[in-house]
Amino acid sequence: MVMSNSLANAVLDLVYPNNCINCKTAILDKDYEFSLCQDCWQSIENNLPPFCSKCGLHLEDIDTRIDLCKDCQKRELYFDKAFSVFAFEGMAKELIHKFKYSNKTMLAKVFAKMIFDFAMNFNIPLDSYDIMLPVPLHSTRLREREYNQCEILARQLQKFFPLELSTKDVKRIKNTKSQITLDKASRWKNVEGVFKTTNEYAFKDKSVLVVDDLMTTGSTASELAKTLKDSGAKTVSVLTIAKAK
């Protein structure tokens, strides 16, 4: 019998439960609830204020009159606000790639705890939203990957922020090219019209927290926010593990 990648990884994690998921170092503290050793945990650099008031990027140069990064000053974004815990570099970049492409779904617990700490440290009221919506994958991509990492993360986040979870009210109706392969301009064109709500009342007058793993240009999040607002959503914010510069 051929074992799927996700099942094989799950078996290995049961056999070797106390090794760091990143560096494979033994985790000596058997009560430590996460699959990441302290060295790897502490090497991840937080995204620190001041933040762009729109996309959440750390602002290097402060203009007291403008609290937007240069990209957000130039382009209309349909979401109201975004929060990112890390910059997409170093250890955070490595872990997100493992989470997204290598079936390391147990990292969702690590990321959820880090998001919770981030929200507490900077007084971000993530529990004030009505609905939490993981960014949907197209059915073809879901079959290829075998899981939606955003949904797995959202379910872990529910343990900290017990919001209603929406997983069937929005579909990705176009199997677009991977955004990784495209330049900034092409990314916006690539995601036009890719989302469709399947329940016209699900988001009416609701505040929605979209959950994604990574924000680069913000094109995917903005297109999803546009779809939600066209369906009556009151506000749409975006929560990601990391923000690319």
Q: What are the pLDDT digits (tens) for 151-177?
A: 999 999 999 999 999 999 999 999 886
Cβ(110)–Cβ(36) below 8 Å: yes
Across 154-180, b (16+ Cβ under 10 Å) vs e yields: bbbbeebbebebbeebbbbeeebeebe
Q: Give me Rg for the CA atoms of the chain.
A: 18
pLDDT of residue 221: 97
State yes or no: cis peptide before 162, omega within 30 of 0. Answer: no
Cα separation, 197 vs 95, in Å, equals 31
pLDDT of residue 32: 65
Across 29-39, b (16+ Cβ under 10 Å) vs e yields: eeeeebbbbee
Mean per-residue pLDDT, 133-154: 95
* CATH level 3 topology of 47-243: Rossmann fold (3.40.50)
pLDDT of residue 245: 84
* Residue ranges per structural domain of the chain: 1-43, 47-243
Average pLDDT of every residue of the chain: 88
Mean per-residue pLDDT, 42-47: 87
More confidently predicted of 110 and 235: 235
177-219 pLDDT, tens per residue? 677 777 778 888 889 999 999 998 999 999 999 999 999 999 9
Residue 181: CB atoms within 10 A of its CB come to 9
Kindly report each contact of residues 17-24 with a partner whose C-beta sits within 8 Å and lies 24 or more positions away, as own/partner. Answer: 21/98, 21/104, 21/106, 21/107, 22/91, 22/94, 22/95, 22/98
Q: 121 phi and psi, to 5 degrees?
A: -65, -35
49 pLDDT more than 60: yes
Identity of the residue numbered 147:
Y
What does each C-alpha distance from 156 to 39, 56, 70, 106, 229 come to in angstroms? Answer: 23, 22, 33, 10, 26
Q: 168: which 2 tokens?
A: 């069937």
Q: Please give the model's pTM, rounded to 2 decimal places.
A: 0.88
2 pLDDT more than 60: no
